[in-house]
Amino acid sequence: MKIVLAYSGGLDTSIILRWLEENYDAEIIAFCADIGQEEELDGLETKALKTGAAKCIIEDLREEFARDFIFLMFQAGAIYEGQYFLGTSIARPLIAKRMVEIARSEKADAIAHGATGKGNDQVRFELAAAALAPELQVIAPWREERFRKQFAGRAEMIAFAEANKIPVEAIAEKPYSMDRNLLHVSFESGVLEDPWFDTSSTEMRNMYKLSVAPEDAPNEPEQVELEFEVGNCVAVNGKTLSPLGVMQALNKLGGKHGIGRVDIVENRFVGMKGRGVYETPGGAILHFAHRQMETLTMDREVMHLRDSLIPKYSALVYNGFWFSPEREALQALVSETQRDVTGVVRLKLYKGNIIVAGRKSPKSLYDPKIATMEGDASAYDQNDATGFIRLNALRLKVRAALKTKDKSD
């Protein structure tokens, strides 16, 4: 049997690699998508081969991730439950897509992942696989009773790793999990499972990877200009950049100023609530700037229509339906809304805050001649508002009269 495993080199997938090899008598191809993990990829191939993989494939998918996933999602204004920038959620369909392609080229029988039976990632991986390659078997060790009997929790996994000389970053003294990519770093489990636990406390400062604490950020604000074309950021501070370059530049700026830290209790697709801590410095800046550009260039009714779909679109991404026909249909509508989202947004970054400092666009729908409070009846006759209000008030007056009549009766 041949299995393609989504491999990160962390505690779970390192243990699972060895477990799959032993329990399925299988040849394991470890696949790692480089989507911005940085130093986490150092020595990964050597580690995978020593752990038991027959082959380790590492591919740089950062540009594709930024261009075809992050940027498309941010055009939609997606943010889950008003707080989460969907950093983990949006990475999974890309990883699954490439796993499927590798499985076919390697003539593998199955793909496998290290997501638990309590989380969202299992759904995201497997819905993507179902949409792209329904013929492939999907193996999820955490949902197998024999695996859970052997590894009741992280303590048993750490002990197994030590006994089998499998090097992993997680240790008993730091038992939270971390997932990093170009858009964010997420932290969960272990000490973070208590929602009263303060992740902004001094003792937790070493946990964060991308950003300083807001109180440690510079005491002076820094300005940054983002240039947009057709809904996508194409330049930062006048320098033309690829989508990957944009994310890297904004991550550096945002991290320097303590921007994009989020600590939330979210509603998981599987039915429970979960506590997650996230760093999304560049994403927070991009999301904010994109909205500012839209306020200047997007028609009111088009904006309100698109905004009404943000919860639906965000839930589709969060729940793993990236390759669904409804997400693709929504994306087509989103693309239409972005035709005129072109111009420049100027921001100030200061101690965790993003402050708008200006916006301009050749496609601007803002007309100072109409908006001005100065007397210019040629552009807007204030007398017209009388009839406008009278017509909109008509149904309210009829209802009020009926309520008065009911009371008198």
Residues taking part in catalysis? 12, 92, 121, 177
Per-residue exposure over 151-188, b if at least 16 CB sit within 10 Å of its own CB, e if not: beebeebbebbeeeebebebeeeebbbbbbbbbbbbbb
Angstrom distance (rounded) from CA 349 to CA 85: 19
Whether 3 contacts 20, CB under 8 Å: yes
CA-wise closest residue to 127 among 309, 323, 267, 299: 323
CA-wise closest residue to 28 among 56, 3, 59: 3
Across the beta sheet with 222-229, the strand order is 239-240, 232-236, 222-229, 343-350, 353-360
Angstrom distance (rounded) from CA 347 to CA 247: 16
Whether 216 contacts 312, CB under 8 Å: no
Angstrom distance (rounded) from CA 207 to CA 209: 7
Q: Pull the structure tokens for residue 51.
A: 């752990």
Whether 177 contacts 191, CB under 8 Å: no
Which residues, 6+ apart, have CB-to-CB distance to 82 below 8 Å? none
- The amino acid that residue 204 corresponds to is M
Q: Pull the structure tokens for residue 307.
A: 């905004």
Angstrom distance (rounded) from CA 284 to CA 344: 17
**Cα dist. 111→8, 139, 258, 318 in Å?**
14, 6, 38, 21
Which residues, 6+ apart, have CB-to-CB distance to 62 below 8 Å? 34, 35, 36, 182, 244
* Residue 386: other Cβ atoms inside 10 A: 10
Q: Pull the structure tokens for residue 151.
A: 């590894």
